[in-house]
Each structure stands twice: as C-alpha cells, then as structure tokens.
Amino acid sequence: MLRRLSRWALAAPAALALVCGLTACGSGTPATPAAPAAASGSSGGATSVTVFAAASLTGTFTELGKEFEAANPGTKVTFNFGSSATLAQQITQGAPADVFAAASPATMKTVTDASLAAAPVTFVRNRLQIAVPAANPAGVDDLKDLTDPKVKVALCAEQVPCGAAAAKALEAAGLKVTPVTLEQDVKATLTKVELGEVDAALVYRTDVLASAGKVKGVDFPEADKAINDYPIAALTKAPAGASAQKFVDLVLSQQGKDVLTKAGFEAP
C-alpha cells in the first residue's frame, strides 16, 4: 500500500502540470486562444474604402472603383456622390469617409481648413455647356438666349460648384438669367432637361456626354472664364488608411487619366 502511494506522489505533479498547461489553472479562468490580429487599414488590410465624390464624377469613379476592386481582391469601394458642398459639410460633421474628390477648390478648402485632409491634388478640370433637349425646341444657340423670359432655364444653386461656375460665366458675359429652378447638384439640374421640364440648363460638358444623346450640348465662349478645378485627397482620419491613398493614386495614374479624359474631363 505504501509503495502504491509513493508511486502516486511521484506521478501527481507531472499530471497536474500537464492539466494546468491545458486549462490555465491557478489563473481562475480557462485559457482562451489568442485572438487573430484585426485587419488594419494602415497596413493595407482594409476591406472597404469609402469615397465621397462630386456628382459629376459618378460615371468615371464608378468605373475606377471596379478597376480598384479587381486589382485589390477582397476590397470593396463604396461611393457617396452628391453636391461637393454637401459632402464637405458631411465630412466636417464626422461622416466616415476615406477619400474626398470635390468639384472645386472652395469646397475642398472646407475640409482642409478643418484639418481633415492634407495636400489635395488637382486631378482634372471641367467646363460648362448649355444642355438642351435633343430637338432643342426653344432654339437655344448661345448664352444670351437664356435671358429670354420665354426660355425655361435650370441652374445649380450658387453655393455648389456648378452653380458658382454658372454665375461666374454669366457675369463674364454681362448677362442676367432668371432660372425657373435651382438644383442642389449638377445631375439633378441635367435631369430637368432630360425630362423636358426646362428648355436649357448650364451643366458640365462631361454630364452632357454622359447623357448618351438624351440632351445636346451647346458651347459658349464665356465657359473659358469659369473652368472648375477638381481636387482629391485621402482624409487624415481615413478608416481605410493606406487603401485610401491607393485609391487616390489610381485616380492620379495614367489609368485614371485615361478614364477621365475619355469622359470629357480636361487635364489640369
């Protein structure tokens, strides 16, 4: 009997050590496996990039988003398109975003003044055209025709970039136009022409091209006085980190330039 007890006394510590190694006895709680490291945007592990972009970039950025996803498997690009002024306000109020592409330096300044973006880069320029229905029933041929009270005109609101550009062009021409509607972004303004609700609108050349023949564009010389520069920047608090800058780099690359110039944007 004594011999059996002696054998147990010698074996017990080893057995106890093995059990404790598996269950972390003595700590009061069972051992748990180490959690896997979370994916970090700064290390390139982000799976989502959120881009706030001017409404006039809808077509081109959607295409570039697909190209970015193809080159970065597992990464999803989400867009918020709209008035640059509205987007800038959303960003300064804390909306989660990684990249901001604005239709004017003034709207980008709202974000840089809040220290939410650094060193934005102008990547394209855009100019205005008069958009008219394909049949042009009002016979609009130049900017002066928009002053005729019989011609129903849509403009962007002046606080948004397309509206500010329109005001600048009209001032350069010494003309005053009374619109029947003021819209909050260029897409909404163009839609008024597409639906036949107005006879003409001042929108970007790129939007006329994107309409695929639904409207016709009329050039006018004063557009040269109101060309908009488009800046882009990765935001300083971008949740996607390095992936945000990678998207900016795509836009600035030759690949990005080809997509943008094909759509009617001009090189800066």
Tokens standing for 86? 């509205």
Query: CA distances (Å), 129 to each of 55, 66, 168, 172, in order?
Result: 16, 29, 13, 15
Residue 153 included in any domain: yes
From first CA to last CA, the distance across the chain in angstroms is 96
Residue 120 and residue 243 in one domain: yes
pLDDT band, residue 47 (cuts 50/70/90):
confident
Give the CA radius of gyration of the chain: 29
Residue 208 included in any domain: yes
pLDDT tens-place string over residues 178-225: 999 999 999 999 999 999 999 999 999 999 999 999 999 999 999 999
Prediction pTM value: 0.80
Residue 120 and residue 192 in one domain: no
Residue 118 and residue 236 in one domain: yes
Residue 86 included in any domain: yes
Q: Which domain holds residue 174?
A: 128-225
pLDDT band, residue 13 (cuts 50/70/90):
very low
The overall longest dimension of the chain from CA atoms, in Å, is 118
Residue 111 and residue 243 in one domain: yes
Domain count, the chain: 2
- We report the CATH number of the domain holding residue 60 as 3.40.190.10
Tokens standing for 216? 């016709």
Residue 73 and residue 185 in one domain: no
